[in-house]
């Protein structure tokens, strides 16, 4: 059985620098890491046409280069 209260610093592959970064996110144990969810989610599944964009809106567009400056 896995001990979810095990400190993150004792997980294989997690060095001192990574521990510091995880601790800044409030992650101290295995339980913390598996229950951590990002505060924001960016949906990249909805591609918009440039003509559909609204001023100030963040959106994903698909673009292809027409020619090179070379």
The pTM for the full model equals 0.55
How much of the chain exceeds pLDDT 70, in percent? 100
Contacts of 62 (CB under 8 A, 6+ apart): 47
Between CA 2 and CA 49 the distance in angstroms is 48
Top pLDDT among 38 and 5 is at: 5
Where does the chain show beta strands of DSSP type E? none
Short-list 36, 18, 34, 17, CA closest to 26: 36
- Indicate the pLDDT class of residue 64, thresholds 50, 70 and 90: confident
Top pLDDT among 41 and 14 is at: 14
């Amino acid at each position: 059985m896995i001990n979810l209260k095990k400190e993150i610093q004792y997980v294989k592959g997690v060095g001192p620098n990574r521990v510091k970064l995880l601790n800044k996110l409030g992650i101290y144990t295995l339980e913390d890491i598996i229950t951590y969810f990002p505060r924001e989610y960016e949906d990249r599944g909805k591609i918009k046409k440039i003509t559909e964009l609204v001023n100030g809106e963040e959106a994903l567009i698909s673009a292809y280069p027409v020619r090179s400056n070379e």
